[in-house]
């Protein structure tokens, strides 16, 4: 892990604060994912702060923006989903934002600014963590243009860094 600058467990009070911040971001209850006395590990790198629970990276903070990782399966199944056609997959995995024409389904309800999981139509594999530019009702009606920012995707710098950690 040559990129790592510092790795340590957080004090219980700091861990609770991180978990509360994370769960506020995804609109969930901390105990739903982490139990009552979780141990949270922090890895600080030049580009990000990575938070781990049970050796699994659940959240990343980059420039004061916290978002879930594609490695924390429990959260991915909890987040609303945008299903994209297979033609959109290579673009999303290259960092392109999520565009309305590539969407085949919107699963769950969410508000503008909420995080969502982008999955492919064929295998329903997570491709990206997106941030909605519209609420779910509006997004379902839109037929053109950008509908979500691509925050974290398979193959990005964060993804590759996290693969070296786990």
Say what the pLDDT of residue 154 is: 97
| 97 and 130 together in one domain | yes
Number of domains, the chain: 2
| 85 and 150 together in one domain | yes
| 83 and 145 together in one domain | yes
Handedness of CA 95, 100, 103, 105 (dihedral sign): positive
Q: At 109, which CATH number?
A: 2.30.130.10
| 41 and 82 together in one domain | no
Cβ proximity of 21 and 13 under 8 Å:
no
Q: At 50, which CATH number?
A: 3.10.450.120
Continuous segment of H or E residues that includes residue 138: helix 136-141
Cβ proximity of 39 and 13 under 8 Å:
no
Q: How far apart are CA 72 and CA 105, in angstroms?
A: 22
Tell me the β-bridge partners of 41. 9, 52
User: One digit per residue, pLDDT tens: the chain, 166 residues?
Assistant: 455 578 999 999 999 999 999 999 998 888 888 887 889 999 999 889 999 998 999 999 999 899 999 999 989 989 999 999 999 999 999 999 999 999 999 999 999 999 999 999 999 999 999 999 999 999 999 999 999 999 999 999 999 999 988 7
């Amino acid at each position: 892990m040559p990129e790592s600058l510092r790795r340590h467990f957080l004090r219980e009070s700091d861990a609770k604060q991180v978990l509360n911040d994370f769960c506020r971001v995804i609109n969930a209850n901390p105990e739903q994912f982490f139990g009552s006395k979780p141990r949270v590990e922090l890895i600080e790198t030049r580009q990000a702060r990575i938070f781990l629970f049970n050796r699994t990276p659940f959240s990343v903070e980059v420039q004061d923006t916290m978002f879930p990782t594609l490695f924390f399966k429990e959260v991915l199944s909890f987040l609303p989903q945008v299903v994209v056609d297979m033609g959109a997959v290579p673009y999303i995995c290259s960092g392109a934002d999520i565009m309305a024409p590539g969407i085949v389904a919107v699963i769950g309800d969410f508000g503008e600014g909420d995080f969502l999981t982008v999955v492919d139509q064929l295998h329903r594999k997570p491709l990206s963590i997106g941030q909605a530019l519209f609420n779910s009702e509006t997004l379902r009606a839109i037929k053109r243009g950008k509908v979500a920012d691509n925050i974290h995707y398979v193959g990005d710098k964060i993804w590759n860094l996290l693969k070296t950690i786990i």
